[in-house]
């Protein structure tokens, strides 16, 4: 199955650039770091620990050239998996937190993207628990680059400490500027988090697995064809689901909720997009025809390609 899946044309819609930095690339960035130090910096056992590992990697990204390198390495790997199109989430919020000049970083990643066989667009992500003023700053960066490679704004981070309801006005401003609206929701917080994301206009939901707990929400997603970006390995590794067998991907699919499969932070979760398709087949009984449907979904629900 894995060989067939690898050559299947796919799009990647839930993929964090900073979470894609493999150990070999970390050594390129920081040759002084040994294997034990890298393992210690990127290890975690729960969602809180994952966020700390994500910050650890981000702190290694100090210059536009660093961002260019990790973009190049990511797109090389996506090409090998026959990923034709990718909407890569770039944590503009983290660059602001690090007091870096976003313009030069974006120029660097855009240049690398222009050299790749993968058609790339960007989702600028804000750190929701930093509050509305921070998200507004990220919105300004996204609006300035609407039509220049940026297709959406998103919010990530801690759902409970940064509820989507804080950001309604900001999302309306982004929509008026021609941007699409994305939100992580229903990953570690319950269905109410997804309802809030929908209330501020989110067109795609990152994760959304806790939606299964609310039949009315499941029906709303099905009726409105709001897709959930399902990252199975991520959800297991962060503890969002207790066990692989407990993951609701099959139940959500059978309920008619539109789904796409993805990796989230593939280096930190040690997964690949082809591997997620294969896992869906092996663990949850997805047939070849169903996997082909999920691959078609990844293009249909893209913000920059027919989206």
**Catalytic positions:** 187
DSSP state of 161: T
CB 180 within 8 A of CB 203: yes
User: 3-state class of 153 per DSSP?
Assistant: strand
Beta carbons within 10 angstroms of residue 281's beta carbon: 18
**Short-list 121, 146, 155, 157, CA closest to 238:** 157
E-strand stretches of the chain: 10-16, 83-90, 119-127, 150-156, 180-185, 204-207, 228-230, 259-261
What are the distances in angstroms from CA 125 to CA 17, 71, 149? 11, 16, 14
Distances in whole angstroms, Cα of residue 33 to Cα of each of 18, 23, 36 = 18, 10, 8
Tokens of 13: 């819609």
Contact 154, 125 (CB under 8 A): yes
Using alpha carbons, select from 273, 271, 267, 279 the residue that is nearest to residue 298: 273
Write the CB contacts of 174 (distance below 8 Å, at least 6 apart in sequence): 139, 142, 143, 153, 181
Among 173, 57, 97, 228, residue whose Cα is nearest residue 153: 173
Quote the tokens at residue 46. Answer: 């729960």
| DSSP label at residue 146 | B
- Beta partners for residue 72, in sequence order: none
């Amino acid at each position: 199955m894995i060989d067939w899946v690898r050559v299947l044309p796919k799009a990647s819609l839930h993929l964090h650039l900073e979470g894609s930095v493999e150990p070999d690339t970390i050594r390129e960035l920081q040759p002084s770091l040994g294997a034990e130090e890298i393992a210690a910096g990127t290890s975690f056992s729960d969602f809180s620990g994952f966020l700390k590992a994500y910050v650890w990697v981000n702190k290694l990204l100090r210059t536009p050239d660093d961002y260019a390198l990790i973009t190049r390495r990511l797109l090389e790997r996506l090409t090998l998996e026959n990923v034709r199109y990718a909407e890569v989430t770039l944590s503009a919020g983290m660059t602001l937190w690090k007091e870096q000049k976003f313009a030069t970083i974006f120029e660097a990643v855009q240049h690398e993207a222009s050299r790749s066989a993968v058609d790339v667009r960007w989702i600028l992500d804000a750190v929701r628990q930093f509050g509305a003023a921070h998200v507004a700053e990220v919105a300004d960066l996204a609006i300035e680059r609407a039509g220049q490679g940026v297709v959406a704004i998103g919010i990530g981070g801690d759902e409970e400490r940064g509820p989507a309801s804080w950001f309604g006005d900001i999302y309306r401003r982004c929509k008026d500027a021609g941007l699409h609206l994305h939100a992580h929701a229903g990953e570690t917080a319950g269905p109410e988090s997804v309802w809030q994301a929908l209330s501020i206009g989110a067109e795609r939901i990152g994760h959304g697995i806790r939606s299964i707990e609310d039949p009315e929400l499941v029906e709303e997603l099905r009726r409105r064809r709001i897709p959930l970006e399902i990252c199975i390995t991520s959800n297991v590794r962060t503890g969002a689901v207790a066990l692989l067998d407990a993951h609701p991907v099959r139940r959500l699919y059978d309920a008619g909720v539109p789904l796409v499969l993805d990796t989230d932070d593939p280096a930190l979760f040690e997964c690949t997009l082809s591997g997620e398709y294969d896992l869906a087949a092996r663990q949850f009984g997805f047939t070849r025809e169903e996997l082909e449907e999920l691959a078609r979904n990844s293009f249909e629900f893209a913000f920059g390609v027919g989206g």
